[in-house]
Amino acid sequence: MLTGKRIILGVTGSIAAYKAAEIVRRLKSANADVTIVMTKAGMEFITPLTMQTLSCNPVYTETFVLQKDSRMAHIEVVKAADLFLIAPATANIIGKIAAGIGDDILTTIVLSAKCPVLIAPAMDSDMYENPIVQRNIAFLKERECRFIEPEEGELASGIIGKGRLADVDKIVSSVIDILVVKKDLKGEVVLVTAGPTREYIDPVRFISNRSTGKMGYAIAEAAKSRGAEVMLISGHSSLQRPKDVELINVVTADEMREEVMRNIERATIVIMAAAVSDYRPIKVSQDKLKKSGKDISMGFTEVPDILSEIGRNKGNRIIVGFAAETSDIINNAMYKLKEKNLDMIVANDVSDTDAGFEVDTNIVTIIDKDGIVAKLDKMPKKDVAHRIFDRIVNFKRRHLDSILR
Ligand code: CTP
């Protein structure tokens, strides 16, 4: 399964370091090319000789080592890597990574890594629960590091608590999840809307909102990477067109509605991530409005709600809406889920500085019509996009099962 994948395995000074030998063995039997990097403390628990023998590659333990051609070894190693797994990871190494410290081979490599970083902590439960350690973990999660939660059980100190390195099976399957992209949307046609709409007042002025399209574009990319055919209907956005996705640009809510209706027949999954205007000016001036020296007021009329319209004629499609809220998030989202006849709704608090508009992260709760509520931590929008599809795939499977039963 991992043929052609290059994995760096970082081993740090935890009693669980001996389990790193089994991790290498398992990754190697899945055909991965594994290179080991060890901290000094890691070498107190397991020898580089063991790791070298199992990995069949040189083990890196020193920062200042030149290769035959005078290139820094650690820089070359990380350039080619598909994944950097750190297992076991101590509180110390997590703290250093969070602080941007590079004072040994392992931390130096993490600082220059462009590949995904997956961290499996192992430590005493008092350390794991320490608010500083938890803050470091939360901080790194926001910056695209992924974590495999430690398990509860008897620890080296004799205490029973959470801190034991996750099971090797779980670590290996997390690696596979990251490196082997699921194609579980093969055969699906996903229609995604993204970005803001603009409602013109005159030829140069419009009302709009702060949406940038980041969430919708991340959804389109995730759907594509999981094997779907994707149509992206986007309001104004300066984001790059996602690769191999059909992009349809629109400006106003009416145009967005028209394009959604024109393309919906082909869609098996619809995700309305766009921030569509609710109102437009009743009268659009053909000429630029001039200053009059007096206050002005303007009449607005409601624009049709696209999601409600497709919810009324949904057929077998899965329809997912977003709920942009600033208060009573879950209740408001549940109301929209029911009112618009949706299968799922993604609720987010757009007043939070790290969620909603203009930022790369989001904090969402996904609610489906079966009443399953999943509150997600703060994470990059591209991870949110994958979580939404995980839930859609699950939802489809559940409903298919109940039809077949
Ligand atoms: N939506 C839509 N057409 C509109 C307005 C909204 O299809 N004219 C969709 C959005 O794309 C989103 C969902 O409806 O998926 C909810 O949008 P939101 O702005 O949160 O709520 P509204 O239904 O517009 O209600 P309100 O603004 O009163 O909260």
Q: What is the pLDDT along the chain (405 residues), one digit of tens a residue?
A: 899 999 999 999 999 999 999 999 999 999 999 999 999 999 999 999 999 999 999 999 987 665 555 566 667 778 889 999 999 999 999 999 999 999 999 999 999 888 999 999 999 999 999 999 999 999 998 877 999 999 998 888 788 889 999 999 999 999 998 898 778 999 999 999 999 999 999 999 999 999 999 999 999 999 999 999 999 999 999 999 999 999 999 999 999 999 999 999 999 999 999 999 999 999 999 999 999 899 999 999 999 999 999 999 999 999 999 998 999 999 999 999 999 999 999 999 888 887 778 888 889 999 999 999 999 988 889 889 999 999 999 999 888 766 666
Residues with a CB atom less than 6 Å from ligand 1: 253, 272, 274, 276, 278, 303, 305-307, 321-324, 336
Residue 303 CA: which ligand 1 atom is closest? 8
- Judgement on whether residues 143 and 194 belong to the same structural domain of the protein: no
Burial class (CB in 10 A: 0-12, 13-18, 19+), 218: buried
Q: Please indicate, yes or no, whether residues 120 and 193 belong to a single structural domain of this protein.
A: no
pLDDT of residue 78: 83
Q: How far is the CA of 188 from the centre of ligand 1 (A)?
A: 25
Quick one: pLDDT at residue 143? 79
Q: Ligand 1, residues 314, 322, 351, 388: which to mutate, most atoms within 8 A of Cβ?
A: 322
Same domain, 210 and 101: no
Distance 347 CA to ligand 1 centre (A): 11
What is the reported pLDDT for 394? 92
What is the CA(273)–ligand 1 centre distance, in A?
9
Of 179, 203, 223, the one marking the end of a domain is 179
Domain count, the chain: 2
Q: Looking at the domain assignment, is residue 163 inside a domain?
A: yes
Q: Is the pTM of this model over 0.85?
A: no
Residue with CA at minimum distance from ligand 1 atom 19: 324
What CATH number corresponds to the domain at position 90? 3.40.50.1950
Amino acid sitting at position 264: I
Point out the ligand 1 atom lying closest to the alpha carbon of residue 323. Answer: 20
Structural domain range at position 242: 189-286+294-404
pLDDT at 74: 67
| Active site members | 209
Measured in Å, residue 3 CA sits from the centre of ligand 1 at: 45
Q: Which of 122, 153, 179 is the last residue of a domain?
A: 179
Mark whether 210 and 322 lie in a shared domain: yes
Q: Which of 252, 271, 278, 332 to mutate to test the pocket of ligand 1 (most atoms within 8 A of CB)?
A: 278
Q: Name which residue sits closest to atom 16 of ligand 1, judged by CA.
A: 323
Query: Within a domain: residue 184?
Result: no
Within this chain, do residues 152 and 202 fall inside the same structural domain, yes or no? Answer: no
> Domain ends where: 124, 159, 179?
179
SS3 readout for the chain: CCCCCEEEEEECCCHHHHHHHHHHHHHHHCCCEEEEEECHHHHHHCCHHHHHHHHCCCEECCCCCECCCCCEHHHHHHHCCCEEEEEEECHHHHHHHHHCCCCCHHHHHHHHCCCCEEEEECCCHHHHHCHHHHHHHHHHHHCCEEECCCEEEECCCCCEEEEECCCHHHHHHHHHHHHCCCCCCCCCEEEEEECECCEEEECCEEECCCCCCHHHHHHHHHHHHCCCEEEEEECCCCCCCCCCCEEEECCCHHHHHHHHHHHHHHCCEEEECCECCCEEECCCCCCCCCCCCCCCCCCEEECCCHHHHHHHCCCCCEEEEEEEECCCHHHHHHHHHHHCCCCEEEEEECCCCCCCCCCCEECEEEEECCCCEEECCCEEHHHHHHHHHHHHHHHHHHHHHHHHC
Residue 93 lies in a domain: yes
Residue 23 sits in the same domain as residue 42: yes
1 belongs to a structural domain: no
Omega before 58 within 30 of 0, i.e. cis: no
Contact 165, 87 (CB under 8 A): yes
43 and 93 inside one domain: yes
